[in-house]
């Protein structure tokens, strides 16, 4: 197989001063990309800022013969990050929405600040950066975008109401942009990484941190952003050299018939059938929902007013 290369491609990696972002930036540069290394340089809780984190990664890329430029803005000002790409390299081909912080707390103790900061960085940040790149990608007829969710975003997690709901928002954003971008060769995918980093170093022992090096996540991002990759709208779990695709499953369900008034008691009576995955199917898009209703009830939700 030919090596995946990014010569002539401009790659923006947000939060590229540490952890996963740094690993992505180094590898894209090694494969010929011109990289915008964005990092605000704050703490894992979203406090403070510093140019050091981004500068160190840029220096590392340049000393290995690669091309990179630093940007120190918060992703909340995504347009400035994309401006850095356009001013320096005149294109933007790949956006890796990776910057992130944690403000974990049980829902009972969560403050409005904990909630809002998480939304500003993860949701508004990914929106701003991607929105600023979108028009250029459409003009180019090429774009590859990665959104970073989390197992918490896919499944929910104790102490992470803010983070998991923000990460779920990225799932919706990524999958919608996959639909809207497809005809312009702009493909969006969503990844839920598992990686030893400063966000996880206080939880995991040394051997787990080593086994979950960010380097094990990087190949997925490279593959998804390759020029000839046709994967679009996918959701992946990845870490410790494990790569897997996630999908939603729909039970066959129970339709009572629209000629009947359905009571809560009838629903309760058939509860185990409603929740039975024996005859389940992948639930991939809105159309599949409409088709399921059509099949089960016999009405066409795709019909329009004459």
Residue 231 and residue 253: Cα distance in Å, rounded?
Answer: 30
Strand (E) or helix (H) holding 69: strand 67-71
According to CB under 6 A, which one of 6, 12, 14, 115 is a site residue for ligand NAI? 14
According to CB under 6 A, which one of 6, 11, 24, 39 is a site residue for ligand NAI? 39
DSSP-based three-state secondary structure for 207: helix
Residue 23 and residue 57: Cα distance in Å, rounded?
Answer: 9
Residue 153 and residue 166: Cα distance in Å, rounded?
Answer: 7
Please tell me whether residue 162 binds ligand NAI under the rule CB under 6 A.
Answer: no
Q: Of these residues, 89, 163, 187, 216, which one is catalytic?
A: 163
Query: Pattern 219-258, binding to ligand NAI, x per CB under 6 A?
Result: ----------------------------------------
Q: Report in angstroms the alpha-carbon separations of 147 from 7, 122, 153.
A: 23, 10, 12
Q: ∠22-157-102 over CA atoms, to 5°?
A: 40
Minimum CB–partner distance for residue 195 and ligand NAI (Å): 4
According to CB under 6 A, which one of 193, 218, 232, 237 is a site residue for ligand NAI? 193
Of the candidate spans 25-33, 37-45, 83-91, 173-181, the one that interacts with ligand NAI by CB under 6 A turns out to be: 37-45
Residue 161 and residue 163: Cα distance in Å, rounded?
Answer: 6
Q: Is the Cβ of residue 201 or residue 231 nearer to ligand NAI in the bound state?
A: 201
Minimum CB–partner distance for residue 71 and ligand NAI (Å): 9
Count other Cβ atoms within 10 Å, centred on residue 221: 27
According to CB under 6 A, which one of 15, 66, 174, 181 is a site residue for ligand NAI? 15
Q: Report in angstroms the alpha-carbon separations of 37 from 18, 25, 137.
A: 10, 7, 19
* 89 flagged as catalytic: no
Minimum CB–partner distance for residue 216 and ligand NAI (Å): 11
Please tell me whether residue 200 binds ligand NAI under the rule CB under 6 A.
Answer: yes
Q: Is the Cβ of residue 166 or residue 292 nearer to ligand NAI in the bound state?
A: 166
Residue 258 and residue 72: Cα distance in Å, rounded?
Answer: 58
Q: Which residues bind ligand NAI (CB under 6 A)?
A: 14-15, 17-21, 38-42, 44, 46, 53, 74-76, 98-101, 121, 125, 148, 150, 192-195, 197-200
Residues annotated as catalytic are 163
């Amino acid at each position: 197989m030919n090596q995946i290369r990014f010569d002539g491609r401009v790659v923006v990696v947000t939060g590229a001063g540490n952890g996963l972002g740094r690993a992505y930036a180094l590898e894209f540069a090694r494969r010929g990309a011109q990289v915008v290394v964005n990092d605000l340089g704050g703490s894992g809780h979203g406090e403070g800022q510093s140019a050091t984190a981004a500068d160190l990664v840029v220096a590392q890329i340049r000393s290995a013969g690669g091309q990179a430029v630093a940007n120190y803005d918060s992703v909340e000002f995504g347009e400035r990050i994309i401006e850095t790409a356009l001013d320096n390299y005149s294109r933007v081909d790949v956006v890796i929405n990776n910057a992130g912080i944690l403000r974990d707390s049980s829902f009972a103790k969560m403050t409005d600040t904990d909630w809002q900061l998480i939304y500003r960085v993860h949701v508004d940040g990914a929106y701003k950066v991607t929105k600023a790149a979108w028009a250029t990608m459409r003009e180019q007829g090429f774009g590859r975008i990665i959104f970073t969710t989390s197992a918490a975003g896919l499944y929910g997690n104790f102490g992470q109401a803010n983070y998991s709901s923000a990460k779920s928002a990225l799932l919706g954003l990524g999958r919608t942009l996959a639909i809207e971008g497809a005809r312009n060769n702009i493909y969006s995918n969503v990844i839920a990484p598992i990686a030893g980093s400063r966000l996880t170093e206080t939880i995991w022992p040394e051997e787990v941190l080593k086994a979950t090096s960010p380097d094990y996540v990087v190949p997925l991002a490279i593959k998804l952003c390759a020029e000839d990759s046709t994967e679009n709208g996918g959701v992946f779990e990845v870490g410790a050299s494990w790569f897997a695709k996630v999908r939603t499953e729909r039970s066959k369900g129970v339709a009572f018939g629209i000629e009947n008034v359905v009571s809560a008691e009838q629903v309760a009576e058939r509860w185990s059938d409603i929740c039975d995955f024996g005859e389940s199917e992948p639930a991939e898009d809105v159309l599949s929902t409409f088709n399921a209703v059509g099949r089960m009830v016999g009405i066409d939700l795709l019909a329009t007013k004459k």
